Amino acid sequence: MAAYPGAMTRVLTFGTFDLFHIGHVNVLLRAADLGDHLTVGVSSDELTMAKKGRYPVYREEHRLAIVSSLACVDDVFVEQSLELKGEYIAEHRADVLVMGDDWKGRFDHHREQCEVIYLPRTAEVSTTDIIQSIRRDLD
């Protein structure tokens, strides 16, 4: 975890955090429990389009404001690229990288920089499912 005994353990996680829901709350609380300082990278609108094939419902400024308002979150920034994880880990001096288990194995190569933990997603809730449910209700 931390580089030396008594040092603050810095946790870094990432997400889109669009249509904020209980699954987002759960992963952020669990990530925060793994250390003393939680930094969250919020996917840019362009990165969200590249990852999900759609723009987020909420603009990145709004998603940043929502995530930064949470008591368990100490710092937020805009994530521009999945390929910059190593740079983000170094920049934020992360001891632990936390990702959802839907990314399991994808970031294992960062174990040279920090501990990598994949947390299970909250069952039966996702932004995609919420959007699909709203669309069905409107039809």
Residue-level pLDDT, tens digit, the chain, 139 residues: 565 667 899 999 999 999 898 999 999 999 999 999 999 999 999 999 999 999 999 999 999 999 999 999 999 999 999 999 999 999 999 999 999 998 999 999 999 999 999 999 887 777 677 667 677 777 7
The predicted model scores a pTM of 0.88
* Residue range(s) defining the domain that contains residue 83: 10-138
Residue 97 placed within a domain: yes
Among 51, 54, 59, 111, the one annotated catalytic: 51
Among 30, 52, 93, 121, the one annotated catalytic: 52
Residue 16 placed within a domain: yes
Specify the pLDDT at position 121.
87
The amino acid at residue 47 is L
Place of tokens 């994808």: 106
85 is catalytic: no
Place of tokens 């008594």: 6
C-alpha dihedral over 114, 120, 121, 124, to 10 degrees? 180
Q: How far is CA 130 from CA 29, 97, 108, 114, 120, in A?
A: 21, 27, 30, 34, 19
Residue 5 placed within a domain: no
Query: How many domains is the chain partitioned into structurally?
Result: 1
51 is catalytic: yes
Specify the pLDDT at position 2.
62
